[in-house]
Amino acid sequence: MNRDSRIYVAGHRGLVGSAISRELTLAGYTNLITYTRAQLDLKDATAVRDMFKLERPEYVFMAAAKVGGILANNTYPADFIRDNLAIELNIIEQSRRFDVQRLLFLGSSCIYPRLCPQPIREEYLLTGELESTNRSYAIAKIAGIEMCWSYNRQYGTQYLAAMPTNLYGPGDNFDLKSSHVLPALIRKVFEAKSANNRNVEVWGTGTVRREMLYSEDLAEACVFVMNLPEQTFQSLLNTEHPPLVNIGTGIDVTIRELAERVCRVLEFEGELVFDLSKPDGTPRKLLDVSRIHGLGWHAKTDLSEGISKTYQAAREQLVHLGQGGGY
- For the annotated catalytic residues, the residue numbers are 137
Task: Name the minimum Å distance from CB 182 to ligand NAP.
Answer: 8
Q: Is 287 in the site for ligand NAP (CB under 6 A)?
A: no
| SS3 at position 34 | coil
Task: Name the minimum Å distance from CB 164 to ligand NAP.
Answer: 4
Q: Is 221 in the site for ligand NAP (CB under 6 A)?
A: no
**What is the C-alpha separation between 296 and 207, in angstroms, rounded?**
32
Select the residue interacting with ligand NAP from 11, 204, 206, 306 (CB under 6 A): 11
Contact 101, 54 (CB under 8 A): no
Contact 192, 199 (CB under 8 A): yes
Please choose, out of 63-71, 89-97, 250-258, 315-323, the segment that lies near ligand NAP by the rule CB under 6 A: 63-71
Q: Is 246 in the site for ligand NAP (CB under 6 A)?
A: no
**What is the C-alpha separation between 16 and 4, in angstroms, rounded?**
22
Q: Is 72 exposed, middle or buried (0-12, 13-18, 19+ CB in 10 A)?
A: buried
- Backbone angles phi and psi of 16, in degrees to 5: -75, -50
Which single residue brings its beta carbon nearest to ligand NAP?
14
What does the chain come to in residues?
327
Complex with ligand NAP: residue 192 or 249, whichever CB lies closer: 249
Task: Name the minimum Å distance from CB 217 to ligand NAP.
Answer: 12
Complex with ligand NAP: residue 237 or 247, whichever CB lies closer: 247
The alpha carbon torsion through 74, 78, 79, 84 (nearest 10 deg) reads 100
Select the residue interacting with ligand NAP from 7, 9, 17, 216 (CB under 6 A): 17
Residues 173-212, interacting with ligand NAP (CB under 6 A): 180
Which residues are CB-contacts of 3 (< 8 A; sequence separation ≥ 6)? 28, 29, 30
Complex with ligand NAP: residue 65 or 130, whichever CB lies closer: 65
Q: Is 170 in the site for ligand NAP (CB under 6 A)?
A: no
**What is the C-alpha separation between 103 and 279, in angstroms, rounded?**
35
Contact residues: ligand NAP, CB under 6 A: 11, 13-17, 37, 41-43, 63-67, 83, 87, 106, 108, 164, 166-167, 180
